[in-house]
Structure 1
């Protein structure tokens, strides 16, 4: 099994968006893309520890590239990449819910956003044992298979109640509008009767 350094080198010199971006910088600056990538990672790590707005940067890292790649997956005829990025978004959604409750305690730690960024990069990493695949297969999928029938039943019940409530509200609104219209017509007819009688007497 190749080491992490070899995987990083192979990815950086492969056919992908990151490799092409660093390749352009290498052409303009004359600095090898390996050094450029390493320097960028170190600078990003220091910024996530000491920089202002680290939360926004971390969330952009976890959203922008996966969203771009997901759109490309949707537009491509191959369905394998659709599954890969759907898995990522499921893990990302579960992580966001968990983070909502733990963020108030964890964000005080100085390496919190660096760890969060590393976690999101691991989840979107371009290899088969990335974080989203491991977390989905080991935790989310077994939990779903165990409880999905109960969840489906609850969702169907809620959907039925919501539909019944919507029908009842719509019926009451229509009845109210019909009653108001009839009342206005009745009052209008009563107001017109005295004038009509006076005209006949003349």
Structure 2
């Protein structure tokens, strides 16, 4: 199994947006891509531990690049990348719900945002054993397969109740409108309206 350094170097030498950006920086500064990448990672890590606005930066990392890549996946004819990014968004959504409750207890922990950022990067990493694939296959998919019938029934019942409520509200509004019109017609309100407007 290749080491972390070898994986990073193969990623930096591959054809991806990070490699291209670091290639331009390397051409301008003369500093090798590997050192630029490790320096950026270390600076980002320190900022996530000590910097102001670490939560916003962490959420941008977890959202901006995946959103951009998801749009590209939607526009491409290949459906394999769609499945990859749909899996990421399912895991991201479950993580966001869990984080809402755990955030109350963990946000004060000094390495919380660094850990969260590492987790999100692992979930979007461009290899087959990334976090979103592992978490989906081991936890989310089995849970879904076990409970999806019950969830479908609840959703169907809620949808039926919402539809019947909307129909009864619409019927009530139309009935009230029709009653108001007939009352105006009986009292001669239609003739009184022009004279009222002329008085103004």
Match of 1:18 in 2: 18
1:44-123 aligned at under 5 Å gives the runs 44-123=44-123
> Per the alignment, do residues 190 and 168 of structure 1 end up closer, same or farther by CA in structure 2, a change over 3 Å counting?
closer
- Cα drift, residue 12 of structure 1: 0.7
| 3-state DSSP of counterpart to 2:77 | coil
Deviations, residues 106-155 of structure 1 (Å, cap 9, x unaligned):
00100000000000000000000000000000000000000000000000
- Cα drift, residue 104 of structure 1: 1.0
Instruction: Assess if the C-alpha contact under 8 Å between 2:62 and 2:121 holds in 1.
Output: yes
Match of 2:138 in 1: 138
Structure exhibiting the larger radius of gyration computed from Cα positions: 1
- Cα drift, residue 189 of structure 1: 6.4
Instruction: Assess if the C-alpha contact under 8 Å between 2:26 and 2:32 holds in 1.
Output: yes
In the alignment, the residues of structure 2 paired with residue 189 and residue 41 of structure 1 have an alpha-carbon distance, to the nearest angstrom, of 75
In the alignment, the residues of structure 1 paired with residue 190 and residue 21 of structure 2 have an alpha-carbon distance, to the nearest angstrom, of 80
Match of 2:196 in 1: none
| 3-state DSSP of counterpart to 1:137 | helix
In the alignment, the residues of structure 2 paired with residue 54 and residue 146 of structure 1 have an alpha-carbon distance, to the nearest angstrom, of 37
In the alignment, the residues of structure 2 paired with residue 159 and residue 78 of structure 1 have an alpha-carbon distance, to the nearest angstrom, of 33
Match of 1:159 in 2: 159
In the alignment, the residues of structure 1 paired with residue 83 and residue 75 of structure 2 have an alpha-carbon distance, to the nearest angstrom, of 13
In the alignment, the residues of structure 2 paired with residue 74 and residue 123 of structure 1 have an alpha-carbon distance, to the nearest angstrom, of 19
Deviations, residues 76-96 of structure 1 (Å, cap 9, x unaligned):
000000000000000000000
TM-score (structure 2 length as normaliser):
0.94
Which runs of at least 4 in structure 1 moved beyond 3 Å after TM superposition? Answer: 189-192
- Cα drift, residue 98 of structure 1: 0.3
Match of 1:5 in 2: 5
Deviations, residues 148-170 of structure 1 (Å, cap 9, x unaligned):
00000000000000000000000
Structure 1: gaps (5+ residues): 193-202
1:26-37 aligned at under 5 Å gives the runs 26-37=26-37
In the alignment, the residues of structure 2 paired with residue 191 and residue 34 of structure 1 have an alpha-carbon distance, to the nearest angstrom, of 85
| 3-state DSSP of counterpart to 1:77 | coil
> Per the alignment, do residues 106 and 190 of structure 1 end up closer, same or farther by CA in structure 2, a change over 3 Å counting?
closer
